[in-house]
């Protein structure tokens, strides 16, 4: 397709609804069922929209559908347009548009439950959906969520983020291992054995240790569950943040304070584009919850 090419046929609301259903489901068959249309009809509608815009919105080259960068950018615009139309017909429908908040692990830490409860009390007609997505940006860059709670610096184009607070790091050690009985640890204490690293959504890398004192071996995993399982099995120890100890207790893992590891910023991130109208309310409530304390 050539950028900017248009068929001359107007884009209708059905085109936007079909695209948004596909963007939410990442599956044409499920999107068709949701819209109560046939799969070929939804595919034709998406193709017509892409032809009008002159860009690919959905990548069909893999076994699983994914939004292209253009599709991610267009999703917010399409959602805002559909919401504006629906509000014009029924002002109550906009308030029912769910706000999807992603996280890769530990959510909002000790503030998670207060945030969810306060949101439900103040915004009962706008559901807040907390979604765990094993991805460095918790699905934000792929358009799967409206905002995300992230940890550590995030170098992804098109995102804006606000630092909400900073968490201390802790060591996660095997419960029956030699380090489990210590009251505190240093990074050097972990360097003698393998270190388990979550390279998909975690914040700990080998660069946390100074070059002259790095661990002799590492084991890489792809999510928090596998990280905990590996540590509990005695395959190595790990480093995470204090919220992990609160949100992910494990019978085979003991969390011990780390004396010499820098803290990790907790961010509220969103795409740098028009988004869900309740995003400012979410940011304001998050700040208020933090000010109150966990």
Residue with tokens 């017509």: 48
Give the CA angle between residues 243, 249, 170 to the nearest 5°: 45
pLDDT-based confidence at residue 236 (cuts at 50, 70, 90): very high
Give the pLDDT mean for 199-217: 91
Band (pLDDT 50/70/90 cuts) for residue 94 is: very low
Which domains are seen in the chain, by residue range?
A: 13-91 (1.10.10.10), 98-164+268-292 (3.40.190.10), 169-262 (3.40.190.10)
Q: Residues with Cβ < 8 Å from 196, sequence gap 6 or more?
A: 218, 219, 220, 221, 227, 230, 231, 235, 236, 237, 238
Burial class (CB in 10 A: 0-12, 13-18, 19+), 129: exposed
Q: Give the dihedral sign, CA 213/218/222/228.
A: negative
When mean pLDDT is compared across 6-20, 39-53, 219-233, the lowest value belongs to: 6-20
Tallying the residues shown for the chain, one arrives at: 294
Q: What is the pLDDT of residues 258-276, one digit of tens each?
A: 999 999 999 999 988 878 8
pLDDT of residue 273: 81
Q: What is the pLDDT of the chain when averaged over all its residues?
A: 89
Q: What is the pTM of this model?
A: 0.70
In angstroms, the CA 233 to CA 50 distance is: 50
Q: Is the pLDDT of residue 9 over 70?
A: no
Question: Concatenated DSSP letters for the chain?
Answer: --TT---SPPP-HHHHHHHHHHHHHS-HHHHHHHHTS-HHHHHHHHHHHHHHHTS--EE-SSSS-EE-HHHHHHHHHHHHHHHHHHHHH-HHHHHTSPEEEEESSSTTGGGHHHHHHHHHHH-TTS-EEEEE--STTTTTTTTS-SEEEEES----TTEEEEEEEEEPEEEEEETTSTTTT-S-B-HHHHTTS-EEEETTT----GGGS-GGG--S-EEEESSHHHHHHHHHTTS-BEEEEHHHHHH---TTEEEEEBSSPPPEEEEEEEESS---TTHHHHHHHHHHHHHH--
- Residue 143: per-residue pLDDT: 82
Distance of CA 12 to the CA centre of its chain: 31
The pLDDT-based confidence of 163 (bands split at 50, 70, 90) is very high
Taking the C-alpha atoms of residue 244 and residue 189, their distance in angstroms, rounded to an integer, is 20
pLDDT value, residue 216: 87
pLDDT for the residue numbered 107: 93
Q: Are 199 and 271 in contact (CB under 8 A)?
A: no
The predicted structure's pLDDT at residue 57: 94
Q: What is the mean pLDDT of residues 280-294?
A: 93
């Amino acid at each position: 397709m050539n950028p900017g090419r248009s068929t001359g046929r107007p884009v209708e609301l059905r085109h936007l609804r079909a695209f948004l259903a596909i963007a939410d489901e990442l599956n044409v068959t499920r999107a068709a069922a949701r819209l109560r249309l046939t799969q070929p009809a939804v595919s034709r509608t998406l193709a017509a929209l892409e032809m009008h815009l002159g860009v690919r919105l959905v990548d069909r080259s893999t076994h699983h559908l994914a939004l292209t960068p253009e599709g991610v950018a267009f999703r917010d615009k399409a959602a805002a347009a559909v919401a504006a139309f629906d509000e014009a017909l029924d002002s109550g429908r906009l308030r029912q548009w769910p706000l999807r908040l992603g996280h890769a692990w530990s959510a909002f830490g000790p503030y998670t439950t207060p945030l969810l409860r306060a949101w439900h009390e103040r915004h009962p007609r706008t559901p807040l959906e907390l979604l765990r997505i094993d991805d460095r940006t918790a699905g934000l860059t792929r358009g799967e969520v409206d905002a995300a709670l992230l940890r550590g610096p995030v170098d992804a184009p098109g995102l804006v983020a606000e630092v909400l607070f900073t968490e201390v790091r802790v060591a996660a050690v095997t419960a029956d291992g030699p380090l489990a009985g210590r009251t505190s640890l240093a990074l050097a204490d972990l360097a003698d054995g393998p270190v388990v690293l979550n390279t998909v959504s975690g914040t700990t890398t080998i660069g946390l240790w100074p070059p002259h004192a790095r661990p002799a071996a590492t084991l890489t995993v792809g999510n928090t569950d596998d990280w905990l399982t590996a540590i509990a099995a005695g395959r190595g120890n790990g480093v995470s943040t204090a919220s992990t100890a609160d949100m992910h207790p494990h019978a085979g893992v003991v969390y011990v304070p780390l004396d010499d590891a820098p803290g990790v910023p907790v961010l509220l991130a969103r795409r740098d584009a028009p988004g869900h109208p309740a995003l400012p309310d979410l940011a304001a409530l998050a700040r208020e919850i933090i000010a109150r304390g966990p």
